[in-house]
């Protein structure tokens, strides 16, 4: 399909709107000017008095396949424009969720004049028809993909338009400044058209503070939206793989007595009391190795640890000998790792505590919290999980109604801030007003791109192509 066909909103589009696979209910969605006629031609009502669809009311009957045979017993509903998700005439067929059934119903709609919808095309039409701004359109995909209850709340707040309204308020404040500058340029002899410097500075600072608040919301919500990266690091045979299996509650990593079993890294997703976590078991550290694969695995593990939200540095308690003077001195390499990564990002795990208890009253290791577990027996895992969760969140749990931009939106906010910084530098250098207005225009443009006021076709294609077909 070429670009012109793809963006032809006069077409009627159809797709399966429910997730792939078998289920109790499956939905076929249509949108466009032929939706009513296509649905009517496919439907045989179970009511003798049926003549036409009552908008937004469910009708029961049989739906026909492309050959005109009854394919499914279903409920159908028709939505008259503009009172629909897309703002166009829309229809939904709610049938049984078997793949063969849905395929037959979709084929029937396509044979009657609909075309197959592109990825995200329903939501794209809702945006183009003014049913939602671009931040709300992105929230549709975020709500569907939300990995946690908190992620659902964040996406729902954006779907309700909170982000779009706040960004528009900030943009309008900057547009006011830009208009006053333009008036001052056009009418230089009219003192009343010039905005007092104090008011100009106050509005600029107000918008800057508002943008920084939104960016703080992005940082606060990253863990809930993207999942926190938690890396297991330490010497070979310290029990990292056993610890990973204990977190997951299943045998994911291979555990043997032979050291160096994990030579690359293993990554799995799990949840810690609702917090999505990407758990990574890295290759064990050695002082010397001639295995090129193992060396590359250790290098990758260290790189992952540097970007992790939390690093679990695992100590093998059985390395302590009765002859040791300062028992923790044998973990010199792990100590250097904690100092290199930063103790505030590390939890040190005294593993195999069922064989060798944690020494004395020690509760820290090179400034990082020290906790005792037995990964093999599952002892101390609940307490460790709670500590990992707390360290990942750092008291940054989003509240209901919190506004959390996504990565694209945060980048636009940062660029708007850069525009305002350039504006302040220009004013300090007594740059003429017409040149100062360029920086204001830049900041306004980046804010407008969040809600889609001036988004390019490439931007829209990039956003909506990440959606599922049928959304």
Q: What is the pLDDT of residues 240-250, one digit of tens each?
A: 888 988 888 86
Residue 183 to residue 189: CA distance in whole angstroms: 10
Judge residue 392's burial from the number of C-beta atoms within 10 Å of its C-beta, 0-12 exposed, 13-18 middle, 19 or more buried.
Answer: buried
In the structure, what pLDDT confidence band is assigned to residue 201 with cuts at 50, 70 and 90? Answer: confident
Answer yes or no: pTM beyond 0.75. yes
Which CATH class, in words, describes the domain spanning 3-131? alpha beta
Q: What is the pLDDT of residues 19-33, one digit of tens each?
A: 888 889 999 999 999
Higher pLDDT among residues 391 and 148, named by residue:
391
Which CATH class, in words, describes the domain spanning 228-393? alpha beta
Phi, psi at 282, each rounded to 5°: -100, 165
Same fold, 3-131 and 228-393: no
Averaged over 247-265, what is the pLDDT?
55
Gyration radius of the chain over CA positions: 30
Q: What is the pLDDT of residue 418?
A: 95
**Of the candidate ranges 64-73, 154-163, 299-308, 424-433, the one whose mean pLDDT is the lowest:** 299-308
Q: How far, in whole angstroms, is CA 80 from its chain's centroid?
A: 33
Higher pLDDT among residues 93 and 318, named by residue:
93
Q: What is the pLDDT of residues 83-102, one digit of tens each?
A: 999 999 999 999 999 999 99
What residues contact residue 148 under an 8 Å CB cut-off, 6+ apart? 224, 271, 274, 275, 276
- Distances 448 to 135, 205, 363, 435, 444 between C-alpha atoms, Å: 10, 19, 51, 20, 6
Closest CA relative to residue 440, chosen from 194, 191, 176: 176
Domains of the chain: which residue ranges?
A: 3-131, 143-222+406-451, 228-393
CATH architecture assigned to 143-222+406-451: Up-down Bundle (1.20)
Instruction: Report whether pLDDT(351) > 50.
Output: yes
């Amino acid at each position: 399909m070429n670009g012109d066909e793809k963006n032809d909103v006069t077409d009627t589009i159809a797709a399966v709107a429910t997730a792939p696979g078998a289920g109790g209910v499956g939905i076929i969605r249509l949108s466009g000017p032929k939706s009513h006629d296509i649905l009517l031609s496919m439907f045989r009502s179970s009511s003798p008095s049926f003549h036409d669809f009552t908008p937004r009311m469910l009708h029961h009957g049989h739906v026909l396949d492309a050959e005109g045979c009854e394919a499914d017993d279903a409920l159908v509903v028709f939505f008259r424009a503009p009172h629909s998700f897309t703002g166009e005439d829309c229809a939904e067929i709610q049938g049984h969720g078997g793949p063969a059934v849905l395929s037959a119903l979709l084929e029937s709609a396509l044979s009657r004049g609909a075309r197959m919808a592109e990825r995200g095309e329903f939501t794209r039409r809702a945006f183009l028809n003014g049913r939602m701004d671009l931040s709300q359109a992105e929230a549709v995909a975020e709500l569907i993909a939300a990995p946690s209850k908190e992620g659902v709340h964040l996406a729902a707040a954006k779907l309700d338009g909170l982000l779009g309204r706040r960004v528009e308020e900030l943009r309008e404040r900057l547009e006011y400044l830009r208009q006053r500058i333009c008036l001052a340029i056009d009418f230089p002899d009219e003192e009343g058209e010039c905005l007092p410097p104090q008011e100009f500075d106050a509005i600029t600072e107000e918008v800057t503070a508002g943008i920084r608040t939104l960016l703080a919301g992005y940082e606060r919500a990253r863990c809930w939206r993207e999942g926190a990266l938690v890396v297991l690091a330490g010497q070979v045979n310290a029990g990292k793989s056993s610890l990973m299996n204990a977190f997951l509650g299943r045998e994911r990593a291979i555990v043997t007595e032979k050291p160096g079993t994990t030579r690359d890294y293993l990554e799995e997703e799990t949840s810690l009391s609702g917090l999505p976590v990407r758990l990574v078991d890295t290759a064990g550290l050695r002082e010397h190795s001639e295995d090129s694969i193992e060396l590359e695995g250790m290098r990758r593990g260290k790189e992952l640890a540097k970007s992790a939200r939390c690093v679990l540095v695992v100590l093998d308690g059985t390395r302590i000998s009765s002859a040791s003077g300062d028992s923790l001195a044998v973990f010199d390499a792990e100590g250097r790792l904690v100092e290199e990564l930063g103790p505030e990002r590390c939890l040190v795990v005294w593993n195999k505590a069922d064989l060798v208890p944690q020494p004395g009253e020690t509760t820290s290791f090179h400034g990082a919290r020290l906790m005792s577990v037995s990964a093999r027996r599952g002892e101390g895992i609940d307490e460790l999980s709670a500590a990992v969760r707390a360290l990942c969140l750092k008291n940054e749990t989003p509240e209901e109604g919190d506004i959390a931009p996504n990565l694209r939106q945060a980048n636009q906010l940062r660029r708007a801030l850069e525009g305002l910084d350039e504006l302040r530098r220009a004013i300090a250098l007594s740059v003429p007003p017409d040149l100062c207005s360029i920086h204001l225009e830049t900041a306004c443009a980046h804010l407008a791109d969040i809600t889609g006021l001036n988004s390019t076709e490439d931007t829209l294609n990039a956003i909506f192509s990440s959606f599922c077909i049928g959304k």
